[in-house]
Structure 1
Amino acid sequence: MITLPGRCEFLSDAWLDEARKFLERECKNRKERLGKRPFSLSERFTNAPPHLKFADDVAAWSMRYDGESIHVSRDFDGAADLVVEGDYQAALTAAQFVGVLAPGAMAAMVREVATMFGKDALRVKGALGDEQANEMIMLLHDHMGRRTVENPDLAHRAARQGLSGKIREMEEQGYTILERAISPEFADQVRSATLRALLPHQTFSMNWMLYHGREFEQLIQNPLMLTLLDASLGRGAVIASFSCIKKGPGPGVIPMHTDYAHVPEPYPEFSLTGVGVWALEDWRVESGPTWIVPGSNKFRRPPRPNDSREGGIPIEMPKGSVVFFTHGVWHWQGDRTEPGDRVTLHAHFNRGILRSLEPKKTDVQMLHRNSPRLAEMLGEDDWFDKMSAAGRDHVRFNYMQQLHAFTEKQKRALLAGDAN
């Protein structure tokens, strides 16, 4: 296990211990409200990462309240009142969602997991009929979601998400497209939230979108995009900027460029930045999409005034998709010939050793309502800017060293074809 103190991998021994402590405490506090009514929950998920060393890579646990006390075990109980089964990585994505008691939040979580992994990736049987029991389990979900880290095995995670080929394509071409990475419903919500955030005079672009609503917090944590991020920039990458662009009809106004400001030639062979551009409506040539020169990452320099756009292709993709590009790829904004506005979100990330465009604003409430992954992207998990009078933060240094080493090892295996 590679975690900071107070965090754990999904269904690891540390996870189970923390869940047990929470349930024992809540059962004691809710004794009168729970009464003598017994209830039970059991979950079982296949294809867990090998480093967790579960038998046959199957992770399971159960909890049972007998009317007096709580019992937590590693056993699976198919006769429990509420049974959840499915794929480990899909379950982990759901487990990192915080806020399930909010109106509509549970349905939204289920919808997005189904969008990413398929409708049968998680299967639920039965229910907890008791209101107090159900509320306690939902609070457990959020309590653990604030502590549950991403699967650190990049190769295993990418395989379960169907992204191994996408990562190889990204390494070769400098970009890849994830079609329908979020649901059309969520894409509409993000678009509406973006337009709401834009003041009348903000007719083109605005930064710091992370702080304009819950939709943006959730979007930037999309686990499919973050797997591409980890494969290109390593763990500990930070948000450089999170901006929106609203573009009406007319010629594109952003010329051909790279996102490597002030980086001298030749560009390094490893990535410094990565950008995920979200399509909040269908992208066609007429929409004025981003254009990219595939393979321009291998030029290792920015375009010059006399360079042509020959070889450039428009990024066409359906609503809810994201194009992720890295390695100093040449790209520009296309001409829009259809009516209406193209509204996009641009999530720009830097390798963790670099500074960001947007100053980071650490909001304790924001961290509380999200998984640890958001804290990592805000620079909370590395040792930079954390030296005290007592010296360097060696806990974070050692943690990130281990995480980098494991990620790089698994990336090499993925690119070599040793992983699915």
Structure 2
Amino acid sequence: MLDHSNDAQALTEQTTSLVREWLATADTIKPSTAATLLAGVLSEEGGLDFTVGFVDGVIRPEDPQIAAENFRSLARNTPGFLPWYLRAAVKTGSAASRVAPALVVPAAQKVLREMVGHLIVDSTDAKLGPAIDKIKRTGRKLNVNLLGEAVLGPREAAKRLAGTKRLLERDDVDYVSIKVSSTVAPHSPWAYAEAVDHVIDQLLPLYQYAASHRGRKFINLDMEEYRDLDMTIEVFTRLLDRPELLGLEAGIVLQAYLPDAMRAMQHLQEWSAARRARGGAAIKVRLVKGANLPMERVEAAVHGWPLAVVGSKQEADTNYKRVLNWAMTSERMNNVHIGVAGHNLFDVAHAWLLAGERGVREIPGALEFEMLLGMAEAQAEAVSRTVGQLLLYTPVVHPDEFDVAISYLIRRLEEGASQDNFM
């Protein structure tokens, strides 16, 4: 039996060395004002609680009286990380809230946009184009995701699908993400086959547009909770098995905090290999840790169910590396390209070095590194100097619907502040 322990130890040492190099480089890069502000939010004691309370208690309520009352309460403990002009906006809004509650939300939105505006892009025509151009000038590519209300009925589902199609039709957008749960209203768990057929019918025109377009148009089928896993995979494979979509390269997300992640990757590999044998294009799997753990925990607790995902961050990290290790061979990556998504520099360095060791970096388009817009920007720049062009997950939302971005922002802030998170 071969002993791979020496190889593993060498890879570990190389990974650690590369991470140290990236961190040293990141220290020489001046962060943006917005990034500095966000770092203050996450590092100051009480900063995260203030921000979550601000978003949840002032931005979310529709009643201006309630928002004003919450604003006055928060303003008594305005944290020091805010620059003077934002502290002044908080104080002014708080003072005015007693006599003119309607002034509260505009003042609050100004503060919030200053804090998190670099994490989300304005989707209006006047702002989206310049924002995309600005990001692309940094050498980044974009994976554009349209945020919206929770889909509870066909009207919102149709609105989200139409909005995503409008994005994909733009000349400056070639990559979008959409979830199965964004295309149909909640379905009965006893009507699985009917729901799959419905989702395919809804998504098919989007995929047909991408396949018929002369330039590259890439659709990434995103995933949320565990219950969506099998449906997402079945929708994805059935769509791409259609004759008119055989030559379309498309992507799907796989979450490493799911115990089924390896099984799902092996299934996608087997299916893609058969599709490739018929003359089809490769697919891409965007490998992530999983962003919906709080929701999974809440649902399990409410129903008294066992937790459907792995029990700890260490298990998710281990599963992430396990899937990467299995997927990264020349034969497999000719069928399934990998998007290494995440901000843990040890995972990113491990993937980069493993790809070099396995000789898969040279396969065109087979390996891509992905991060979140606006998060750990100096580290992202340091990584890009080694691995090349990064793909940024870029959420967009209309300013009139800014409140729908709340759940995304809370996840980003909690992840960034978590002691388990590399950032």
TM range (shorter): under 0.3
TM-score (norm 2): 0.27
TM-score (norm 1): 0.27
Q: Which one has a larger percent strand, Structure 1 or Structure 2?
A: 1
Q: Which one has a larger percent helix, Structure 1 or Structure 2?
A: 2
